[in-house]
Amino acid sequence: MLQILPTTIRYLYDMKDVLYDQEWLKTADNFEVYRFWRGKTPEEKWQEKEIPGLRYDITIIWPKMLGKEFAKAKGHRHKNNIPELIKVLEGQAFYLLQKGDEKEIKDVYVVKAEAGDYVLIPAEPYNHLTINPSSENRLVMANWINPDCQSDYSFFEKMQGACYYYTREGWIKNENYKKVPKLRFEKPLKSMPKDFGK
């Protein structure tokens, strides 16, 4: 019998500091944007390869619009510069990674991934977030990470999100950033890196 495990849920109002469409937010209901399980698998079909010493997580981002913006995770960086490996299990995802501070973003790129693809968040201090670019299909993803990893959400909260938003009109620059390079796109990995976690 499948055990029903507790979830952590992020509601819209939990995301208020990182959203593009602040005018829409003023009258929006407080609905669920995404949920995640840390170190647990809510359904057997999502169970993936165990990597010794690493925590296995599952995240679902629902196909909802946040005003003009597609649904996304809040976004963070890893305080202790720990890498993370992600696999898309259902749907499609955009992973946005940026390096720099409020004065200048030195690098920003997006990895477009679909079911079966892997994305590596490097050990370097990249703030990063996940976007569900669909208003019809949910995004389900798994990740492997050191259980000692600590997430810091403060930079994206301070800057009202990443340096680019993904909206119905496409990618829009966040005007709270002073200097931002042109957005570039990278391909996902098609298989799990053999040396990850070693």
pLDDT in tens, 112-134: 999 999 999 999 889 999 999 99
Residue 3 lies in a domain: no
- The length of the chain, given as a count of residues: 198
The per-residue pLDDT for 39 is: 87
Residue 49 lies in a domain: yes
pLDDT less than 70: residues of the chain? 1-6, 198
Structural domain span for residue 113? 8-186
pLDDT in tens, 8-41: 999 999 999 999 999 999 999 999 999 999 987 8
Domain-embedded: residue 197: no
Structure confidence at residue 105 (pLDDT): 97
Burial (CB count <10 Å: 0-12, 13-18, 19+), residue 70: buried
Q: How many other C-beta atoms are found inside a 10 Å radius of the C-beta of residue 169?
A: 9
Residues 87 and 41 sit within 8 Å (Cβ to Cβ): no
Question: Does a structural domain hold residue 15?
Answer: yes
CA distance 147 to 172: 34
The encoded tokens of residue 28 equal 């929006």
In a domain, 194, yes or no: no
Output phi, psi for 154, to 5 deg. Answer: -65, -35
Cβ(99)–Cβ(106) below 8 Å: yes
**CA–CA dist 181, 35 (Å, integer):** 31
Please answer whether residues 60 and 33 qualify as being in contact, where contact means their C-beta atoms are separated by less than 8 angstroms: no
Q: What are phi and psi of 16, to 5 degrees?
A: -55, -30
Do residues 18 and 156 touch, judged by C-beta distance below 8 A?
A: yes
In a domain, 1, yes or no: no
Pair 177, 102: CB distance under 8 Å: yes
Q: What is the pTM of this model?
A: 0.94
Q: What is the pLDDT of residue 1?
A: 36
Cβ atoms of 162 and 131 closer than 8 Å = no
Looking at residue 5, its pLDDT comes to 53
pLDDT for position 106: 97
Query: Quick check: is 156 in a domain?
Result: yes
What is the pLDDT, as a whole number, of residue 194?
A: 86
* Residue that has been written with the tokens 């389900």 in this structure: 140
Q: Looking at residue 24, which CATH number applies to its domain? A: 2.60.120.10
pLDDT of 3:
45
- How many domains would you assign to the chain? 1
Q: Is 192 part of any domain?
A: no
